[in-house]
Chain A
Amino acid sequence: MENNIDDLVLNGLIQELRRGTIILAVLSQLKQPQYGYSLIVLMNEKGFDIEANTLYPLLRRLEKQGILESFWDTDGTKPRKYYRLSEYGEGVYLKLCAAWSDINRAVKHLIDEEE
């Protein structure tokens, strides 16, 4: 029982840690247009698990913020909404990457210092 609770706490913390990285991960895969489901599959293949109920609302939000642009493809049997980085989004993505490596470096430094 105690173990379960520990797991629960740990899981929560890991989720929290991951949450901040999701946007960066998603943006990294959107230089080429993708629709929601293809993006999930693609990211899962590369080892980053993301669920549809997180990704779909996120894509919409990023589009609203102007980071992504979208178009509908109605040629196939199923109409699909494709997303890709906008010009503005590309700039944002690069800055996020820089911020990420700064954080990474700093945290790594702190962790290594501990050991």
Chain B
Amino acid sequence: MIDRYIYAVTKKLPRKLKNEIGSELKVLIDDMMDGMDNALSEEEKVDKVLRELGNPQELASRYRGKERYLIGPNYFDKYLFVMKTVVLSIFIGISVAWGFGSIFSIESIAGMIGDYIGTLLSATLQGATWVTGIFALLEYNEISVETGMKQKAWDPSQLPELPDKKAIISRGESIFAIMIATIILTLFFFLPEIIGIYYKAGDGLNFIPLLNLEGLARFKVIIFLVFTTNILIELIKIIKGRWTMKIAIITTLLNVISATLSINVIYKIDIWNSEIVQKIEQYTPVSFERIILITTAAIIIITIGESVSALYKGIKYGGKK
């Protein structure tokens, strides 16, 4: 019993303290038992002593000196908020994507539902793990969510400025963007076969897949990166809640990375279904290369637009730094 108690106290203490505290406790328990009324039996004594020492976990935390948290009180509110946002976006994103899928798919409904639940579970789990992991890391290193730096002694100058109304980042927009990203990501990852061009041919609906599934497989990692980068941008914006120079720079940087990666991918001829390339060239005056060029231009323009707007807001509302 005594050994079990000591084990319970010391098992989560740092290794170098373990032995010393263990032997110290052993002697203490021994001494306490010696100091007791001899009329008591050995077992009664042990029982009494251990009760007096109390819950081993409490004793261990006293030895440790401070409470340990995976996600402590400083981070908990933010954590909860981000977690809700992420889980909700994943849920809606995947549901919508699968909704589309079920309209166009030839698979049986039952099979679709099974797949849907499976995807939903694994994606939610992934999301939750990432969020928890990131926050645990912040907690462990005591990095402030607000400043991104080690927490220092508080000083009035750290008080955030009252935000200009226009400086506040709309949560709704960010959540919407995350959902869109999740929907597209889900489509690319789990239902790439349904992306394509649908057109009327006689009575039925005819369909040409847009993507070459084998070619696509090799770029899944990059595609995943593009979308997770976008989701990350939106998450950072939500957490911060208002435009600052730092947010503007981070957003711009991630935007550029994401754009570069996507342009890289669309230029890989492998990922496109060769049939669709031919069809387009056959029925429209523009060549497929042209279309890719136009898409690239669109991505670049959008990226520049977003970055300029972010930087503008950052400079205007972010103050110095």
The smallest C-beta distance from A39 to any residue of chain B, in angstroms, reads 11
Is B62 a contact partner of A54 (Cβ separation < 8 A)? yes
Residues on the A chain within 8 Å of B21, using CB: 60
Q: Given A37-B31, A60-B63, is A51 in contact with B24 using a C-beta cutoff of 8 Å?
A: no
**A55-112, CB < 8 A from B:** 56-57, 60-61, 78-81
Is A78 a contact partner of B63 (Cβ separation < 8 A)? no
Is A36 a contact partner of B35 (Cβ separation < 8 A)? no
When chains A and B are docked, how far (Å) is the Cα of A41 from the Cα of B20? 22
Which of B20, B28, B32, B52 lies at the interface centre, i.e. has the most chain A CB atoms within 10 A of its CB?
Answer: B28
Which of B31, B32, B53, B63 lies at the interface centre, i.e. has the most chain A CB atoms within 10 A of its CB?
Answer: B31
Is A41 a contact partner of B35 (Cβ separation < 8 A)? yes
Residues on the B chain within 8 Å of A51, using CB: 52
When chains A and B are docked, how far (Å) is the Cα of A80 from the Cα of B30? 12
Interface size on B (CB < 8 Å)? 19
**A27-60, CB < 8 A from B:** 35-37, 41, 51-54, 56-57, 60
Decide if the interface of chain A is mainly helix, strand, loop or mixed. helix
Interface size on A (CB < 8 Å)? 16
Query: Is B58's CB within 8 Å of the partner chain A?
Result: yes
Residue ID in chain A nearest B35 by CB atoms: A41
Query: Is B25's CB within 8 Å of the partner chain A?
Result: yes
Query: Is B59's CB within 8 Å of the partner chain A?
Result: yes
Name the contact of A56 in the complex, choosing from B23, B25, B30 (C-beta under 8 A): B25
Is B52 a contact partner of A61 (Cβ separation < 8 A)? no
Is B32 a contact partner of A52 (Cβ separation < 8 A)? yes
Is B53 a contact partner of A53 (Cβ separation < 8 A)? yes
List 4 A-B pairs, minimum CB-CB distance, nearest first.
A37-B31, A57-B62, A78-B27, A57-B63
